[in-house]
Amino acid sequence: MKRTPLIAGNWKMNGSSIFVEEVVSTFSSFNDQHVDVVIFPPFVYVETMKKLLSNSLVKVGAQNISTFSEGAYTGEISGSMLKECQCDYVVVGHSERRVLFHESDQECLQKVIMAQTHGIIPILCVGESLKEREHEQAFSVIEQQLMAVISDSRVNSQQLMIAYEPVWAIGTGKTATPAMAQDMHHFIRSLLSTHLGQDTAQNTRILYGGSVKSDNASMLLAQKDIDGALVGGASLVIESFTDIIRAASSVKRV
Ligand code: 13P
């Protein structure tokens, strides 16, 4: 089974109109078929980027989606609005949203369903904290976060991507070793296989996130069950991001 690697750039609450222009001019004619690229700018830049990248294979996604369809929910953005902006993907359950904005597994489930209802592919983030890893709870935490979503029969498992982002590796410069990341990715794939079947497990892309840089991307992406990267800080430096994309495009799996 061949899973095309996917490199996603999560800008978080960073960027500006000038940075949008720089990124768009870098990727305006991107046409590498060996790697999928998705950029997740803040909401306000999604529509512009999508339009400006219409001749490029680079896709654009949103960093969040409301659990509500419409109404008096100040500050929220709905699935239909994202669809109108031709948003292709949405990040769900990023640890920053789980920790800082107290998003629960139940809300993540609702967001996944909402995205899929509008034809947007959710990337469900899962990840353990340092304390949980030190207490040897990493695997049970990931299992709980994953099962909260995949065990619900309303979720379309064919239209779902997973990102394993250990919280202790995000923005810290500490990356999981390739072996450590591969172990968790293998575990996630085995859960997918047990609960959704072998075919779905083999078809689902599982990304790694947490201090992915140009100098560690190749080793991580070479692992059998690592199908791409969700890149934070390094996606804000165009040269680093393009280096990571190049690494993914030429990677040979071990
Ligand atoms: P960093 O690459 O900055 O560690 O961020 C990872 C991340 O949270 C991507 O969603």
In a domain, 182, yes or no: yes
How many angstroms does the Cα of residue 174 sit away from the middle of ligand 1? 11
Ligand 1 touching residue 175 (CB < 6 A): no
Q: Which of 94, 96, 107, 132 is an active site residue?
A: 94
pLDDT digits (tens, 9 = 90+) for 116-154: 999 999 999 999 999 999 999 999 999 999 999 999 999
In a domain, 144, yes or no: yes
* Known catalytic membership, residue 195: no
In a domain, 88, yes or no: yes
* Known catalytic membership, residue 239: no
Ligand 1 touching residue 64 (CB < 6 A): no
List of E strands, the chain? 6-10, 36-40, 59-62, 89-92, 121-126, 161-164, 206-209, 228-231
Alpha carbon of 245 to those of 5, 140, 219: distances in Å? 9, 32, 13
Ligand 1 touching residue 127 (CB < 6 A): no
pLDDT digits (tens, 9 = 90+) for 12-43: 999 999 999 999 999 999 999 999 999 999 99
In a domain, 225, yes or no: yes
In a domain, 26, yes or no: yes
pLDDT digits (tens, 9 = 90+) for 176-232: 899 999 999 999 999 999 999 999 999 999 999 999 999 999 999 999 999 999 999
**Residues spanned by the domain of 66:** 6-250
Mutate to test the pocket of ligand 1, among 40, 170, 220, 243 (most ligand atoms within 8 A of CB): 170
* Percent of the chain whose predicted confidence (pLDDT) is above 90: 95
How many angstroms does the Cα of residue 72 sit away from the middle of ligand 1? 32
Place of tokens 């680093």: 240
Ligand 1 touching residue 79 (CB < 6 A): no
Indicate the residue type of 38.
V
Task: Kindly report the number of other CB atoms within 10 A of residue 7's CB atom.
Answer: 27
Model pTM score: 0.97
Measured distance between the N- and C-terminal CA atoms of the chain, rounded to whole angstroms? 14
Average pLDDT, the chain: 97
Is 254's pLDDT higher than 90? no
Q: In this predicted structure, what is the pLDDT of residue 5?
A: 97
CA-closest residue to ligand 1 atom 1: 232
Is 1's pLDDT higher than 70? no
CATH classification of the domain holding 130:
3.20.20.70
Ligand 1 touching residue 230 (CB < 6 A): yes
Q: Count of domains in the chain?
A: 1
Q: In this predicted structure, what is the pLDDT of residue 169?
A: 94
In a domain, 1, yes or no: no
In a domain, 84, yes or no: yes
Is 156's pLDDT higher than 80? yes
Q: Which atom of ligand 1 is nearest to the CA of 209?
A: 6
In a domain, 211, yes or no: yes
